[in-house]
Structures are given as C-alpha cells and as structure tokens.
Structure 1
Amino acid sequence: MANPTAAMLVIGDEILSGRTRDSNMHHLARKLSEAGIDLREVRFVPDEAEAIIAALNALRHAYDHVFTSGGIGPTHDDITADAVAAAFGVPIDVREDARAILAEHYARNGIEMNAARLRMARIPEGATLIENPVSAAPGFSLGNVHVMAGVPAVFEAMVASLLPRLTGGAPLTSASVDIPRPEGDIAGPLAALAAEFPQLSIGSYPYIREGRFGANVVIRGSDAEAVEAARARLIEMFPGEAR
C-alpha cells in the first residue's frame, strides 16, 4: 500500500519578503519521511485571506494531509485560523478549552490575558487541538488540515505532538553515492538505473570541488533492500570511481 501523501502551506509576508528564513519545511520533511508520510508539495503564500483559502482548498483535496505554518499569533495579520474556517465553511470563535489553556499559562507566568492573546483561543468549529508545550497557544486539526505556528521552536513542538495521532506508512530510507564525473557523463547510466528500479526515487545533485565536476546521487525509497541493491548497481556502473 502506498504511503499517505502530504503538502505544506507556509504562510507569511515575512517569508516571501526574505526577511525571515523558513526552516519549518526542512524539519517537517524530515519528520514526515521518518513517519512514512510522503511530502509531495510545498506552497508559500502571503498573509492574505484569499490566497490562503485558495491554496488550502487546492491542497486539501489533492493530498491526504496538509500542514500549515504561520499566522496563528495574537496580531492583526494573524489570519490563518479565520481563513481555514472560511475554507471549510464553518464558524470560528473563542473555545473554552483553548481559552483555559491560555489563561492557566498566562496566570502561571504573571502575564495579562488581554484581547490580543485571547485571539489565539479562537478555533474553528469541529477542530481538534494540537498541544503546544512551548508557549501554550494551541494549533488545531480540522479535517485533513493541521494548523501550526510559524516560530520554529513552537512548530517543531507541535509537529511532535501531532505526528503520533497520524497513520503513516513505511519510513523512507536513502543511500548516497559520490561519482566524480559531470552530470552529462552519468545521465545515461542513471536513466538506466531508474528504469531498473522504478519503485525508487533517484536524484543527482552536482557539485564543483577543487575545480572538478561531480555529483552526489541519492537513492530513496521505502524498500531498504531495493535501495541497497540500487546503490550496489550504481557502484558497479562506475568501477573504481563511485563511492
């Protein structure tokens, strides 16, 4: 049976402007690979409701899971929760269990629970909360959409809270082979290898070292024995060179 599929929707003007470097995609891709969920697509959209809704509706109908990051904080431009509710056509309001989590957290730390912070307790109807052990404000899952914070430490904690609830498949394994030749020299053999192992993903990543061209070939798949067989076959194709 094929692994579940996933997409990621990264939300935020600060990402698209280059002011903030996104690290959440890298973290999520690694964790999903370990869980046996195949990340197939990543989109970046600004803090605009129409853009978020359109992307979300496209992705949630195309993949088994959609993971979002960004836009669930206390400020006026944190509109992700409202956009998700609109995409699903459900109401959104302050939810008592989310409010209680925030109230306890702020009381314990001597922080006022003001109107801005209360915005983070607004949850679409029918959603399930995602625990946030870092700063308390929860994310949520609605249908196959999982909504999480953009701050990397919080996003990573939410991913750790969420993934045990999801059903994955076979974790991906990988092997790499270094071939000190230009890609033009290895393209034909790689095509033959891909035809021989159609169940695997085979990618070539070129480099230049000390003025010489070469490529790292990465072989990925859920069948560890097939990955190893393909690695051995590739080394056979370039005896004395590939390693």
Structure 2
Amino acid sequence: MAGSADGRVTAGVLIIGDEILSGRTQDTNLRDIAKYLGVHGVDLAEARTVSDEIEEIVAALDALRSRYDYVITTGGIGPTHDDITADAVAAAFGVELEEHPEILAMMAARWGESPNAARRRMARVPVGGVLVKNPVQGPPGFMIGNVFVLAGVPTIMRGMLEDVGHRLKGGAVTISRTVRVEGSGEGVIALPLETVAKAHPDMSLGSYPFFGDGGYGSNLVLRSRDEGELAAAVEELVAALKGAGIENVREIES
C-alpha cells in the first residue's frame, strides 16, 4: 500500500461491469463514494471502469492498490457466471477462494434451506478476507488488504459503505464553499478567479458553468483543509468579482 507523498490519504475506485461500459446502466456509485470518502478525509484520486474479464480486473486492481491507500470496487459479486470480482481479487492477492460459513448461515436463515449453487457463489471470499456488512439485502461484501469489495447496486453499495468508514485511517477533511455568479460568463470571471487561485496555491478552485431557463452563470467551488484560509479566500474572491464589476454574486450552500 502506497500513500501520497504529500501526506494525503488517497483512494482509487474500480467500477466493474460490461453493463456500465455498454451504456445500458448509468453509474452513480462513483459520486456517492467520492462524497463518502471526502467526509472521512480520504481523497478520491483515480477511478477506472473495466469489463467483466479477470485479467482486466486483476491488472487494474494491482495498479490501484499499489498506488493508493485504499481501493473500493463495485459490481460483479452476484450469483451469475459473469460475476467474477471475487475470483479476480483472489487472483490479485494470490490466495484461494473459500465459502464463508457466516454467509452460508445467513443464506440458510433467509431462505430456510441450504443455498443452491448460484447463491453459493455469493458466499465465496478470498482467504484472509473479512466481511463488510450489507444492511440492505443479500450477502455482505468483503475487505482484503487495502481493498473493499462492494456490490454494484447503488442502494446496496451505499449501505455497505457504512461499514467501511470506521476502517479508514483518514486525513484532514476537505471543506468546500461555493460562490454563485449569475449573469456573467466564464470569460468575465476568469481573471478574478485566477488571481485568488494564485494567492492560495494549496487550495482547489473550480468553475462550473450553468445554463437554463432561469439564466446562466457559474458556481465557483473552493476547497481546502484549512477552514481559516478557505474563509479568507471566499472573501477575497467575492471582493475581486465585485471589483471587476460583477454584482450578482452570492455564496450558496455547497
């Protein structure tokens, strides 16, 4: 496991599934994971999407887990033949898969009988893995090394995330504030934004334009781990925008 040279705690996300790459299913998990990690002081540094092929999953997983403090995978832990995430994770760590007795007991209690072969696939966990609770429905995910293996169904994935946070050794939490500019394009706000960005090189400043029936403008998002510096930068940005003749400026909830 390799952390960031600047002391940040970082993570990568690996989204697994042909249905995502084909466009049949729209991924929303990345957004939810990024928000969740941010609350725990972990920066999402990279995300990859791969097909349901063991070699592709192993290669991506090895690259991410050697580069970042944590990796979260989503998808491919169901009962069908193309749900091969557990196989790929076991291959990446060089261990065997075993049917976890706790998962088998959960299945038997739920269905009132011994699970069939398809359901037993969902009980397979790499040797050395520990379970990640699933409070929604179905079997749990698992963690091995610095890798968390979660379901692809968004509601189930979000439930599993609740058993991930307490296992993360996070850094300082990033705080964000948003300044909304209405009726002015990016060309007008570029110089004030650049001036504030240069004065605060350790902060993240982004411009996100919007268009609609109600008009146009940009949401200027400032992010920092230093609450005092963030507050100062917001004041400087508002002053710089108004100094450039832009009056319709206000801070909104991030």
User: TM (normalized to structure 2)?
Assistant: 0.89
Identify the match of residue 117 of structure 1 among 99, 116, 119: 119
Residues 65-214 of structure 1 correspond to what in structure 2 (within 5 A)? 65-107=70-112, 113-179=115-181, 180-209=183-212, 213-214=216-217
Q: RMSD of the TM alignment (CA)?
A: 1.7
Q: After the TM superposition, which parts of structure 1 deviate over 6 Å for at least 4 consecutive aligned residues?
A: none
| 3-state SS of paired residue (1:238) | helix
Report the alpha carbon displacement of residue 207 of structure 1 after superposing the two structures with TM.
Answer: 2.2
CA separation in 1, counterparts of 2:198 and 2:96? 50
CA deviation string 1:196-240 (max 9, x = no partner): 112211000112345965211100122222221111110000113
| 3-state SS of paired residue (2:122) | helix
Q: Is the Cα contact below 8 Å between 1:65 and 1:144 reproduced in 2?
A: yes
**Counterpart in 2 of 1:29?**
34
Residues 54-73 of structure 1 correspond to what in structure 2 (within 5 A)? 54-73=59-78
CA separation in 2, counterparts of 1:91 and 1:76? 18
| 3-state SS of paired residue (1:161) | coil
Q: Is the Cα contact below 8 Å between 1:16 and 1:46 reproduced in 2?
A: yes
CA separation in 1, counterparts of 2:240 and 2:167? 43
Q: Structure 2 regions of 5+ residues with no counterpart? A: 1-5
Residue identity matched to 2:241: F
CA deviation string 1:67-124 (max 9, x = no partner): 00000011000000000111111111212233223222332xxx66101101111110
| 3-state SS of paired residue (2:26) | coil
**Counterpart in 1 of 2:3?**
none
Q: Is the Cα contact below 8 Å between 1:173 and 1:220 reproduced in 2?
A: yes
57-66 vs 215-224, which deviates more?
A: 215-224
129-138 vs 74-83, which deviates more?
A: 129-138
Residue identity matched to 1:242: V
Residue identity matched to 2:39: E
Report the alpha carbon displacement of residue 58 of structure 1 after superposing the two structures with TM.
Answer: 0.7
Residue identity matched to 2:70: H
CA deviation string 1:155-200 (max 9, x = no partner): 0111011211222122221111122322122223222211211221
CA separation in 2, counterparts of 1:37 and 1:23? 19
| 3-state SS of paired residue (2:162) | helix
| 3-state SS of paired residue (1:29) | helix
Query: What's the % identity of the aligned pairs?
Result: 48
Q: Is the Cα contact below 8 Å between 1:105 and 1:136 reproduced in 2?
A: no
| 3-state SS of paired residue (1:202) | strand
Q: Is the Cα contact below 8 Å between 1:24 and 1:155 reproduced in 2?
A: yes
Residue identity matched to 2:19: E
Report the alpha carbon displacement of residue 27 of structure 1 after superposing the two structures with TM.
Answer: 1.1
User: TM (normalized to structure 1)?
Assistant: 0.92
Q: Is the Cα contact below 8 Å between 2:107 and 2:114 reproduced in 1?
A: no
Report the alpha carbon displacement of residue 128 of structure 1 after superposing the two structures with TM.
Answer: 1.1
Residue identity matched to 1:122: R
128-137 vs 230-239, which deviates more?
A: 128-137
CA separation in 2, counterparts of 1:70 and 1:4? 24
Report the alpha carbon displacement of residue 151 of structure 1 after superposing the two structures with TM.
Answer: 0.9
**Counterpart in 2 of 1:242?**
249
CA separation in 2, counterparts of 1:112 and 1:99? 8
Q: Structure 1 regions of 5+ residues with no counterpart? A: none
Residue identity matched to 2:249: A
Q: Is the Cα contact below 8 Å between 1:5 and 1:63 reproduced in 2?
A: yes
